[in-house]
Amino acid sequence: MARAEQQRIANDWARAWSSSESSGPDDVLALFADECVFEDVTFGVVARGKDELRVFVRRAFAAVPDFRYEVQSSFASSQWAVIEWVMSGTHRGDFPGIPATGKHFSAVRGSTVLELGAGKIRRESDYWDAATFMKQVGLLPSPSQ
């Protein structure tokens, strides 16, 4: 796979997860191979295959219908892509173990590691700053409180 193809996948990933630029779950799912593995390390969630991923993605978009991802940097090689990003949105629905607050969050940093093959994502592992998110939506005290 050419480096330009990996870079395209990284950019498509950010667009698909940014609900204002996509049709939501369908755009995300279109990026993945049928036999994919998706891991949200922060929540300890692992989805194997598109059916499990579909459930996770729908819940994520229900929890934050106005997701916005901005790519800060990215790198792609023959089989891998890494994306450093910031996300924002409004916490309107429950996350695993985190009840909805209705509050906006912004500039929550994270990174995504993608294993690629045949123009699709075979594996995704997400790592993001839950403490900043939880402070911004009022679930943890911020240093100024």
- 125-134 tens-digit pLDDT: 999 999 999 9
Question: Per residue in 26-51, pLDDT tens?
Answer: 999 999 999 999 999 999 999 999 99
- pLDDT band of residue 6 (cuts 50, 70, 90) is low
Residue 141 lies in a domain: no
Domain range enclosing 59:
3-136
In a domain, 143, yes or no: no
Burial of 101 (0-12, 13-18, 19+ CB in 10 A): middle
Tell me if 108 is assigned to some domain. Answer: yes
Residue 49 covered by a domain? yes
Closest by alpha carbon to 96, among 136, 142, 134?
A: 134
The answer to whether residue 142 sits within a structural domain is no
Distance CA 68, CA 144 (A): 26
pLDDT tier at 96 (50, 70, 90 boundaries)?
confident
pTM: 0.89
